[in-house]
Amino acid sequence: MKPNARALLGLLGWVGFGLGLGLGLGLLPGGVGGLSGDRPAYASPSPSPRLEGALVQLLRTDRPRQGLLAQRIGVDLDVRRRVRVVVEPLRTTSPARLRGSVEALGGVVEAQSSRFLRARVPLESLAKLAEVPGVRIVRRPYRLRTLEIPRYREGTLPTGGLLFHSYGIRGRGVTVAVIDAGFEGLQEAYREGWLDPAVVVGTIDYSGKGFESGGDHGLRVARLVHEMAPEASLLLLNLGEDGDEVVFEKAVEEAIRRGARVINHSIGWFETNFGDGTGPIDAIVRRARERGVLWVNAAGNQAGAHWMGRAYDRDRDGWVEFRPELEELKVWATFGGVITLVLVWDDFPQTSRDLDLFLLDGEGEVVASAEAPQRGFDPPYEVLEYVVTEPGVYSLKVKRKGRWADPSSLPLRFKVWSFSHTLSPSIPHGSVMAPADCECALAVGAVNAYRWEEDGLEGFSARGPTSDGRLKPDLVAPDGVHGDLFGTSFAAPYVAGAAALLLSRNPDWSVEELERALLANTVDIGPPGPDVESGYGKLRLSLGKPSAVREIPSPTLRPGEETLVKVTVRMPPMRFGALELRESLPPGFGLEPQEADGAQVERLAEGEARWVWPALGPGESRTIVYRLRVPSSAELGLYPLRGELNGLIVTGDDEIQIVAARSSPTATKDRKGIALEVRARRSQLTLRIRGLPSGRCARVRIFDSAGRERFLSGSLCAPGLTIPLARWANGVYFAVVTAPSSTGENPVPKRVVRFAVLR
């Protein structure tokens, strides 16, 4: 789709959102204005027509919900419950004559012109003010709006940031530290208006060259954090282009001292570890995490500029082989650039095994090398930089040095990184660098903003797993939002800003709760479940989802019996709108609605019905009841109940057990005898069941750690079955088995078995 077409569709979508917002604010019966709870501030059935309708709506809303409504409709309601209004007098009355009336009602006049008076007035006095003689109308102030392209670009739209802004959740009260290199142009950013100086609570320079030095990488990162969380406080710390672990540690400690709850670090450290979460940089980040700071880090852009494997020298010529008969990697370079290469091997923190790094031109001549000796106390890395004098294809080679016990099969792994040039061949997986590789950091990959709905993971976005087998990155966010801001550096700030939004709404959250909330606010892409390319998926903030829970007081029935089923639906605290519940019973079962709790009920078919609520307010719940009738011809066994609420699965009780006419004392023995054995291998999952009654089968359901169902079987019979794992992501899963008793009279409790898939 062309960008202009995409922009038009986006505009239409937000027009629709605005219409939906209006409906949810009480324009339909049951909207916010009609919610139950504390008494509203004003309950008169006929308020003065000289009081603006939006203010009447606010007065008629229950007190606990007035703050939320005020944010939605643009009413300035302060903590002392005073409203900023404009009092417009009749033409025969001057504003000065109304000043005394405003003050007598507890109001404070803020400004006065020849025709208008602006004041802060207690909410409970608005109706009386509108009835003062000489008042034409009491209304909200008008607001000027500059004529410019909207600042809410693609980054805040797909991530859900703009939705939070529309509810007044903008990051206030949260400090985000941006620890980066380069803040050139800060004053210009203030003048141009895309960074508000009021939110910048500190600028600290560690470069020794002045804060506005070292390029503008950090400033651009701060810009994106600010767009996502415009009222969050920003603490900007400049490490400079030559920053090291000393100034890095000082900056982190200062950020913590100044109360930062979130730190964004769109920087990578390549030579400090082997991608396994260890080393000095990761240790500094880990200490920040222990002190309650959420660390958000760019995953890196080296998917096409990274190689990792085991070192071999099969022909014993001293040159390490990247694969059989391949002793070099190709580097494509253009004139004027700098080739920067880093070699690390898995001997951290110190080693006596010595590897050297060489760069050769197209003629096979060595043009640069890194040959630092490793003598036992030296770290296992080499760094090489070369200024390109002639464009073309260069070659990278690694040489072993000194006496090694077995040069034909070297027992270590090594990595090669290129900063700004691709390598061929390359290995994308394992390319996440420090400190994004730490379990203490939230690693962020990148999806192109213009391919967001197509799940367009950037080809350069670093992939996991870490060298010790952990999942990375953790999630992905958009890049390319401002045309030239491509890279995971400019995806991470959206996550940092999202964290500030969540914290401003939930200031008491721990860092663990905040991280879980961010990972839960994602949309899965790629292979089902968390994976090593996109983590848990794309960042997409939501204000909670509607939920429905089913309760069956008597889940064990006999043929021909009945029971009442109760389903409670709930709207999350920060959402509103219509809800549709559907319930579907097994064939032959009867469904008869009993209590609708304000819903419109429609019988769709035998055993199937729909309940619709046109508008539920934030936090509201409704409970419906229907009668479930078991057919007299029903066979013994387990019968599933299925339901959806706005496309989401109804949780809670989900099955009926049909038993014989009388109980049997052998049921206890069956309960103890049923067991499930789960074995996960590299390519397949084997389920075996023991103690199953002869001629009967069990029902097995498998869920991932996020509660998503991955597998459903209604026929797990002895001895078992095998499931292929080709598309299963590594992680922890739960198998839930339910089996009938030997007589079918009493239900056997569910067995839950936890297992891990590691491939």
> Is the residue at 154 inside a domain?
no
Per-state percent for the chain, helix, strand, coil, to nearest 5: 20, 35, 45
% of the chain at pLDDT higher than 90: 47
Mean pLDDT calculated for residue range 630-650:
88
Residue 648 binned pLDDT confidence (cut-offs 50, 70, 90)? confident
> Could you report how far apart the first and last alpha carbons of the chain are, in Å?
38
Give per-residue pLDDT as tens, 29-42.
Answer: 333 333 333 445 55
Do 693 and 748 fall within a single domain? yes
Q: Which three-class secondary structure state does DSSP give residue 446?
A: strand
Question: Does 476 or 312 have the greater pLDDT score?
Answer: 476
Instruction: Read off the tokens for 268.
Output: 């990578």
Do 571 and 518 fall within a single domain? no
**Contact between residue 279 and residue 193 where contact means Cβ atoms under 8 Å apart:** no
The 8-class DSSP code of residue 665 comes to: T
% of the chain at pLDDT higher than 70: 81
**Signed CA dihedral, 430, 431, 432, 434: sign only:** positive
Q: Kindly tell me if the per-residue pLDDT of 14 is higher than 90.
A: no
Do 461 and 530 fall within a single domain? yes
Q: How many distinct structural domains can be found in the chain?
A: 5
| pLDDT the model gives residue 152 | 34
> Which of 304-308, 347-351, 646-650 has the least mean pLDDT?
646-650
Residue 83 binned pLDDT confidence (cut-offs 50, 70, 90)? very high
| pLDDT the model gives residue 575 | 66
> Is the residue at 297 inside a domain?
yes
| pLDDT the model gives residue 682 | 62
**Contact between residue 336 and residue 389 where contact means Cβ atoms under 8 Å apart:** no
Q: Kindly tell me if the per-residue pLDDT of 212 is higher than 80.
A: yes
| pLDDT the model gives residue 669 | 32
Q: Which of 424, 443, 476 is the last residue of a domain?
A: 424
Give per-residue pLDDT as tens, 522-577.
Answer: 888 888 889 999 999 999 887 777 889 999 988 888 899 999 999 999 988 656 67
Its domain, for residue 259, covers 161-173+239-302+434-539
| Beta-strand pair 651-652/547-551 | parallel
Q: Model pTM?
A: 0.60
> Is the residue at 29 inside a domain?
no
Do 394 and 494 fall within a single domain? no
> Which of 70-79, 343-352, 487-496, 688-697 has the least mean pLDDT?
688-697
| pLDDT the model gives residue 18 | 40
Q: Kindly tell me if the per-residue pLDDT of 6 is higher than 50.
A: no
Do 530 and 552 fall within a single domain? no
> Is the residue at 80 inside a domain?
yes
CATH of the domain at 614: 2.60.40.740
**Contact between residue 307 and residue 341 where contact means Cβ atoms under 8 Å apart:** no
List strand residue ranges (DSSP E) for 587-724, in order.
Answer: 590-595, 600-605, 608-616, 621-629, 637-640, 642-645, 648-649, 651-652, 655-658, 675-680, 684-690, 698-704, 709-716, 720-724
| pLDDT the model gives residue 415 | 96
> Which of 194-198, 394-398, 533-537, 726-730 has the least mean pLDDT?
726-730
Residue in the structure block whose two tokens are 């001997």: 347
Integer Cα distance of 455 and 424 in angstroms: 26
> Is the residue at 216 inside a domain?
no
Instruction: Read off the tokens for 231.
Output: 């009222």
| pLDDT the model gives residue 514 | 94
Q: Kindly tell me if the per-residue pLDDT of 349 is higher than 60.
A: yes
CATH of the domain at 43: 3.30.70
316, 319, 326, 360 from 370: Cα distances, Å: 21, 14, 20, 12
| pLDDT the model gives residue 157 | 57
Q: Kindly tell me if the per-residue pLDDT of 391 is higher than 50.
A: yes
Q: Which three-class secondary structure state does DSSP give residue 81?
A: coil
> Is the residue at 178 inside a domain?
no
Q: Kindly tell me if the per-residue pLDDT of 163 is higher than 80.
A: no
Q: Kindly tell me if the per-residue pLDDT of 481 is higher than 60.
A: yes
CATH of the domain at 705: 2.60.40.2550
| pLDDT the model gives residue 588 | 92
Do 370 and 416 fall within a single domain? yes
Do 613 and 697 fall within a single domain? no
CATH of the domain at 464: 3.40.50.200
Residue 145 binned pLDDT confidence (cut-offs 50, 70, 90)? very low
Residue 241 backbone phi and psi in degrees, to 5 = -65, -25
> Which of 686-695, 698-707, 735-744 has the least mean pLDDT?
735-744
Q: Kindly tell me if the per-residue pLDDT of 306 is higher than 90.
A: yes
The 8-class DSSP code of residue 225 comes to: H
Q: Which three-class secondary structure state does DSSP give residue 224?
A: helix
Q: Kindly tell me if the per-residue pLDDT of 693 is higher than 70.
A: no
Single-letter amino acid code for the residue at 247: V
Do 310 and 418 fall within a single domain? yes
Question: Does 167 or 425 have the greater pLDDT score?
Answer: 425
Give per-residue pLDDT as tens, 314-338.
Answer: 888 889 999 888 999 999 887 667 8
Do 396 and 446 fall within a single domain? no
Q: Which of 476, 507, 539 is the last residue of a domain?
A: 539
Select from 204, 191, 199 the least CA-distant residue to 236.
204
> Is the residue at 564 inside a domain?
yes
Question: Does 20 or 623 have the greater pLDDT score?
Answer: 623
Cα angle at 239 between 297 and 170, to 5 degrees? 50
| pLDDT the model gives residue 167 | 74
Do 649 and 595 fall within a single domain? yes
| pLDDT the model gives residue 548 | 93
Give per-residue pLDDT as tens, 351-371.
Answer: 889 999 999 999 999 999 988
Give per-residue pLDDT as tens, 92-110.
Answer: 998 899 999 999 999 999 8
Q: What is the mean pLDDT of the chain?
A: 82
**Contact between residue 143 and residue 474 where contact means Cβ atoms under 8 Å apart:** no
> Which of 38-42, 240-244, 366-370, 745-749 has the least mean pLDDT?
745-749
Mean pLDDT calculated for residue range 243-257:
92
Select from 625, 492, 629, 663 the least CA-distant residue to 560.
629
Do 296 and 351 fall within a single domain? no
> Is the residue at 25 inside a domain?
no
Integer Cα distance of 181 and 218 in angstroms: 6
Q: Kindly tell me if the per-residue pLDDT of 215 is higher than 60.
A: yes
Do 391 and 487 fall within a single domain? no
Residue 17 binned pLDDT confidence (cut-offs 50, 70, 90)? very low
